[in-house]
Structure 1
Amino acid sequence: MKEKTIDYVLRATWMAVSKMYNEEAGKAGSTMATGFALLSIDPEKGTPSTSLGPKMGMEATSLSRILKSMEEKGLITRRKNPKDGRSVLICLTDFGREMRDYSRRVVLRFDEAVKEAVSEKEMETFIKVANSIMSLINEKKIYTEEIQIKEK
């Protein structure tokens, strides 16, 4: 492709970020997905398992595999939700809190590095463009008509 599409730039950038996070998480015997889950769990009160998936934008089956692995590694425990007996709270262990702090430092270091390399105005523009893309998608304003497949 002579000109890169917006999709290509977004995908290639996210793949690079994802690879970088996985390499960094690997140094602590973890993964980016685990780090993201740790950051999504309230460190004091825990988080209901039913709200964790939507909060992370993950399907239940993927989340359940991650939570099982996190439990096996001693990062989380599952407790009955005192406010709703049908629900389970995902709570961080002491080790989970340590790893959450590590994940937080990794994310903040990435933010610092980007902010050192990119001007405040460029960052504002980037966030504005990203928010516009998300709005177009969320408001279903992109594929308003069927795209026809041409037969050969």
Structure 2
Amino acid sequence: MKDKTIDYVLRATWQAVSRMYNEEATKYGGSMAVGFALLSIDKEEGTPSTFISSRMGMEPTSLTRTLKSMEEKGLIYRRPNPADGRGVLIYLTEEGKEKRELSKQTVLKFNETVRNNISEEKLNHFLEVTEIINELIQDKKIYNQPEVLNDEKSN
């Protein structure tokens, strides 16, 4: 790790995870984006598309393409949102529910394997570190603030 930057390790790890999920999803005619979208849609109540994009961290235009593809494959359908006349709710078809279950099992298998190979203590440290990184970014404390003193970095 000494020669690698933190962002490099995060990016390389996410690319490996993404590649792994895409390889698995391809076996079922899907993609990682479709799998995550399926997991973001409530099985019974439907979900506003705006919630899906924010939950996935996906730009609305990219999500629109993903949802269109999912609709063409018969995984979802859209209905007007009765609570918001301007909005649309996304619902899973029966096939979409089946693919959602496959996606769920894939994610659970990944998590189980990681948990079986990394101690709970190390995993908790990893989760703490990623939470702090996300907070630093969200609070704009990396580029929009004066340099942090070395004493404060160890907190």
Measured against the shorter chain, the TM-score band is over 0.9
The alignment yields a C-alpha RMSD, in angstroms, of 1.4
Cα distance between partner residues in 2 of 1:47 and 1:121 = 35
Q: Which residue is 2:4 aligned to?
A: 4
Q: Which residue is 2:134 aligned to?
A: 134
Structure 2 counterparts to residues 22-101 of structure 1, below 5 A: 22-101=22-101
Q: Which structure 1 segments of 5+ residues have no match? A: 147-152
Q: Which residue is 2:109 aligned to?
A: 109
Q: Which residue is 2:150 aligned to?
A: none
Percentage of pairs with the same residue: 62
Q: 1:6 is aligned with what amino acid?
A: I
Q: 1:123 offset after TM fit, Å?
A: 0.5
What SS does the aligned partner of 1:38 have? helix
What SS does the aligned partner of 1:79 have? strand
Q: 1:6 offset after TM fit, Å?
A: 0.3
Cα distance between partner residues in 2 of 1:129 and 1:103 = 27
1:131–1:119 Cα change, 3 Å: same
Bigger mean CA offset, 132-141 vs 1-10? 1-10
Q: 1:102 is aligned with what amino acid?
A: L
Q: 2:21 is aligned with what amino acid?
A: Y
Cα distance between partner residues in 1 of 2:40 and 2:133 = 23
Q: Which structure 2 segments of 5+ residues have no match? A: 147-155
What SS does the aligned partner of 2:30 have? coil
TM-score, length-scaled by structure 1: 0.92
Cα distance between partner residues in 1 of 2:76 and 2:69 = 9
Q: Which residue is 1:125 aligned to?
A: 125
Cα distance between partner residues in 1 of 2:14 and 2:2 = 21
